Amino acid sequence: MDTYQIRTMTIKDYEEVYTLWTTIHGFGMRSLDDSKEGVQRFLQRNPSTSVVAVVKEENKEKIVGAILCGHDGRRGCFYHVCVDEQYRKRGIGKSMAVTCMKELQKEQINKVCLIAFKNNEVGNVFWKSVGWTFREDLNYYDFTLNEENITRFNS
């Protein structure tokens, strides 16, 4: 089994993380929010809560997982949780989530949420298996403020 390290994500990780996102089947990315500028803005607002998982391959580090994690002062949220398909079922996703949750607790955040697309079977099974609660008592709404922020899904 490979050893991996979980560390804080920085904007220097962007290109490698973006490449990882593009390899995940069914992964949805927004044209503006997930641009380098959009991610940089997110990381500046949340400097310690987002993480990457890194393995060493042939004396070179490779990012194999990532979570964008932030909060609004009241509630934390996970965005773009992913692990390279070749590295799944090794505890990486759970370790990243726990690391993010500990960072949120340091900032006195008491609850965290995430959105998983209904057709994301792998993700939905994972979150239920690690103790997250599926909410059936609410409806989720959003409103687009910038029509140029288009979501596209990897095939």
Q: In this structure, what token pair is assigned to residue 55?
A: 């393995």
**According to the model, what pLDDT value does residue 149 have?**
67
Cβ-in-10-Å burial (0-12, 13-18, 19+) of 16 comes to middle
68, 21 contact by CB (below 8 A): no
Sign for the CA dihedral angle at 20, 48, 131, 53 comes to positive
- pLDDT digit string (tens) for the chain, length 155 residues: 468 999 999 999 999 999 999 998 878 888 888 999 999 999 999 999 999 999 998 889 999 999 999 999 999 999 999 999 999 999 999 999 999 999 999 999 999 999 888 888 888 888 888 888 988 888 878 777 777 766 677 76
How many structural domains comprise the chain? Answer: 1
Q: In this structure, what token pair is assigned to residue 132?
A: 């997250």
**According to the model, what pLDDT value does residue 1 have?**
47
CATH of the domain at 105: 3.40.630.30
Cα gap 92→107, rounded to integer Å: 23
- Rounded to 10°, the helix 14-23/36-45 angle is 110
The DSSP secondary-structure symbol of 135 reads P
- Domain containing 76 equals 4-153
Q: What is the DSSP string of 36-81?
A: HHHHHHHHHHSTTT-EEEEEEETTEEEEEEEEEEEE-SS-EEEEEE
**According to the model, what pLDDT value does residue 82 have?**
94
